[in-house]
Structure 1
Amino acid sequence: MYMEIDPLKAWERLRASRSSRPGRASSGARAKTYSTALEQAQQMFRAAEVVGPQTRPLLVFYGLSQAGRAIAAAATNLKGEEWNLVSHGIHAIGYHKDFADIEIRTDPAGSAGSFVRLSELLESPIWCTDTVVPLNAVWDTIPANLEYPLTAGERLTPLYASAGIGSQPHPLLTIEVGDIPDRVVDAGSREALTEFLEAYPGTSGHDGFVIRTEEGVDVPNYERSHPDAGWLIMHWAMPSGADSAEQRRARLRAMTRGYAGHRYFFPATAGLPRDLHPLMAWWVVLYVLSMLARYQPAQWAKHIDIDGSHHAVPIEKILERALEQLPTLIADAIDEVAVWP
């Protein structure tokens, strides 16, 4: 699902927050870091708008990195010097491989690198060297990449959660789930759907509306939104007595992650224990792009060669979408971590 996101409004939100700083960024060194880091982030994003893909990933990633320092400065759960990020906390190896197969590693849990500290803050997994996480797996978890795959293989992409929660009490939380891949819809069976949804932790305990075939078999009642995906009305039983609209909204928030005002079920890919927070998925992808551009310029030139690389257009598109969507995700992440318990 394509969404219109206004980066100017997001930057207005972020600039307005600097005179009334949220969370623990209200005073002292954290306040100065919050304001300065956001100013640096915005200037880097502005600079990225006027350069091409040869240089853009450097500016976008380091803009995001500085925004991460503002997020940490505002976080109410980070005390003492825990908010002070001192390194990247993430590494990429295998630049000689196909672009989609570059591997990502992280520093250990509890370390002060930006990726680790922010992942723990946003309840997003880290994996050190125990799990092989290829770029392609993370790439597919970003909603902006739904139409821009790196490979022709089977993908695990976000599922859009559209919930029209009424005001009356109801024992079921009912959601329209979209962007279910063509292969699952074509399979048509409840078994195929159940197997597919095993990669989506938030869907645990689901049930779905079915239709009965002429052979007397109950199958998911999919609707097609476009030729490559489908929608399905799904529901979850609420605990006894927890049937109010607010309780159902809380259940929805617990099952899904937010993305610029929308809700998604995100997959737990590559053996990770749970789904990546969307901001951290962006972090992974932009880190890899920036490291290629900075330290492997000849390979980077090949990847973005429109006449020779089938990755060139997807790379161009994700860099465009980064400038459009990341300011909102940054502002939302600050709101998420700056709430006092």
Structure 2
Amino acid sequence: MQIDPLEAWERLRSSRASRPGRASGGARAKTYSTALEQAQQMLRAAEAVGPQTRPLLVFYGLSQAGRAIAAAAVGLRGEDWNLLAHGIHVTGYHKDFADIEIRTDPAGSSGSFVRLSELLESPVWGGTPAVRLEDVWDALPVNLQYPLSTRDRLTPLYAASEIGSEDHPLLTVEIGDIPDHVVDAGTRQALDGYLAAYPGTAGRDSFVFRTAAGEEVPRYERHLPNAGWLSVHWEMPAESRSAQDRLERLRAMTRGYAGHRYFFPAPAGLSRELHSLMAWWVLLYALSMLARYQPAQWANHINVDSSRHAVPIEKVLEQAMHHLPTLIADTIEEVATWP
């Protein structure tokens, strides 16, 4: 994954002279420019500190960028763009790091997380059930190599497709990063059970298979030692088989992340997957609340001499500073150009 945060900041700074979407004038324009400047300064400041305080600066940098996103969004009218409060809550600090619990305010409320989630067609879940920190951690591509526990994981599945230019009755997608326990099982049942957690894969018609003991089973390939791949097919309607139709189908089934497409898992209890920016929001909010309100526990979690989570936490905070500028810029373009 090639990500250039400097190029992303250039895009964001350039947008302030010709503000996108509904941020073209008035209070929304001032909020857009000021919030982006604050976001950039906070994320730059985060580079100069260690993990003791870094999550505070990174989260509030993202939070201010969220205000710029809302200011530009054509889907937010009236005063709906003016974000108030957080709209998200963390409990269960006494539990294992992976089991910390996150809840949101109800749908339709004015908290930043709820308002932006609804704008981006990302779920909110009110008071219950809680979403576990590990489920959100695993939903980010940057954490693929950094598990928090030994549980079977639901991680993003890379979606690669050569659409071509000709009409075709099938949309074929090469799905990557299928975990070892699914590949090793080698059965249709194991595959179907695993993909049930990925809403975007619904409606698939077939896959490339081999015959084993008279049964058609998935024909996986390994491009990397721990990454199984499988070609999966979706049948297109007779009237919608052009390259553009198939590209739109792929985009509808997947979500983008820094120029790539992924099938993302839905955290347990939710009907659909989180938008990647909102997954980062959940994770960074939880880490910032730990650092701010539970400093002793936070110190234990980031102690490299005693905590198995210390290095993964360091890595995810480093990646946040690297990835967020691109995700913010992409999200602004997304919400500012919707009809």
Please report the TM-score for the alignment, with normalisation by the length of structure 1.
0.98
User: For 1:75-94, what aligned pairs fall within 5 Å after superposition?
Assistant: 75-94=73-92
RMSD: 0.7
SS at match of 1:175: strand
Aligned pair partner of 1:285 in 283, 286, 290: 283
Residues 1:204 and 1:33: Cα distance change in structure 2 (over 3 Å): same
Show structure 1 runs of 4+ deviating over 4 A.
none
SS at match of 2:12: helix
Per the TM alignment, residue 228 of structure 1 is displaced from its structure 2 partner at its CA by 2.1
User: For 1:298-313, what aligned pairs fall within 5 Å after superposition?
Assistant: 298-313=296-311
CA contact (8 A) 1:182 1:227 kept: no
Instruction: State the alpha-carbon separation in 1 of the partners of residues 223 and 177 from structure 2.
Output: 8
Instruction: State the alpha-carbon separation in 2 of the partners of residues 42 and 71 from structure 1.
Output: 14
SS at match of 1:211: strand
In structure 1, the gaps of 5 or more residues are none
CA contact (8 A) 1:93 1:102 kept: yes
Partner of 2:227: 229
Partner of 2:27: 29
Deviation string 1:112-165 (CA, Å, 9 cap, x unpaired) is 111000000000000011212110111100000000011110100000001111
Partner of 1:211: 210
SS at match of 1:126: coil
Per the TM alignment, residue 226 of structure 1 is displaced from its structure 2 partner at its CA by 2.2
Higher mean C-alpha displacement, 118-127 vs 204-213? 204-213
Partner of 1:190: 188
CA contact (8 A) 1:185 1:229 kept: no
SS at match of 1:53: coil
SS at match of 2:234: strand
CA contact (8 A) 1:268 1:274 kept: yes
CA contact (8 A) 1:71 1:334 kept: yes
SS at match of 1:73: helix
CA contact (8 A) 2:210 2:219 kept: yes
Q: Which amino acid aligns with 2:126?
A: C
SS at match of 1:165: coil
Partner of 1:141: 139
Number of paired residues? 338
CA contact (8 A) 2:199 2:271 kept: no
Partner of 2:168: 170
Instruction: State the alpha-carbon separation in 1 of the partners of residues 149 and 228 from structure 2.
Output: 21
Instruction: State the alpha-carbon separation in 2 of the partners of residues 141 and 194 from structure 1.
Output: 19
Aligned pair partner of 2:334 in 330, 333, 336: 336
Instruction: State the alpha-carbon separation in 2 of the partners of residues 4 and 306 from structure 1.
Output: 29
Per the TM alignment, residue 270 of structure 1 is displaced from its structure 2 partner at its CA by 1.3
Residues 1:189 and 1:309: Cα distance change in structure 2 (over 3 Å): same
CA contact (8 A) 2:255 2:261 kept: yes
SS at match of 2:129: coil
Per the TM alignment, residue 235 of structure 1 is displaced from its structure 2 partner at its CA by 1.0
Aligned pair partner of 2:46 in 27, 33, 48: 48
Partner of 1:12: 10
Per the TM alignment, residue 86 of structure 1 is displaced from its structure 2 partner at its CA by 0.8
Per the TM alignment, residue 340 of structure 1 is displaced from its structure 2 partner at its CA by 4.2
1:270 aligns with 2:272: no
Deviation string 1:46-102 (CA, Å, 9 cap, x unpaired) is 101111101110000000000000000000010110000010000000111111111
Residue identity (%): 72
Q: Which amino acid aligns with 1:25?
A: A
Deviation string 1:22-67 (CA, Å, 9 cap, x unpaired) is 1100000000000000000000011011111011100000000000
Instruction: State the alpha-carbon separation in 1 of the partners of residues 33 and 180 from structure 2.
Output: 46
Higher mean C-alpha displacement, 174-183 vs 224-233? 224-233
Partner of 2:119: 121
Per the TM alignment, residue 225 of structure 1 is displaced from its structure 2 partner at its CA by 2.1
Deviation string 1:282-335 (CA, Å, 9 cap, x unpaired) is 000000100111111111000000000000011000001001111111011111
Per the TM alignment, residue 255 of structure 1 is displaced from its structure 2 partner at its CA by 0.1
Q: Which amino acid aligns with 1:96?
A: H
Instruction: State the alpha-carbon separation in 2 of the partners of residues 188 and 96 from structure 1.
Output: 39
Instruction: State the alpha-carbon separation in 1 of the partners of residues 130 and 180 from structure 2.
Output: 27
Q: Which amino acid aligns with 1:203?
A: T
In structure 2, the gaps of 5 or more residues are none
Partner of 1:70: 68
Higher mean C-alpha displacement, 265-274 vs 222-231? 222-231
Per the TM alignment, residue 259 of structure 1 is displaced from its structure 2 partner at its CA by 0.2
CA contact (8 A) 2:134 2:148 kept: yes
Per the TM alignment, residue 216 of structure 1 is displaced from its structure 2 partner at its CA by 1.9
Partner of 1:296: 294
Per the TM alignment, residue 263 of structure 1 is displaced from its structure 2 partner at its CA by 0.1
SS at match of 1:320: helix
Please report the TM-score for the alignment, with normalisation by the length of structure 2.
0.99
Instruction: State the alpha-carbon separation in 2 of the partners of residues 225 and 60 from structure 1.
Output: 34
Instruction: State the alpha-carbon separation in 1 of the partners of residues 237 and 265 from structure 2.
Output: 25
Instruction: State the alpha-carbon separation in 1 of the partners of residues 12 and 89 from structure 2.
Output: 29
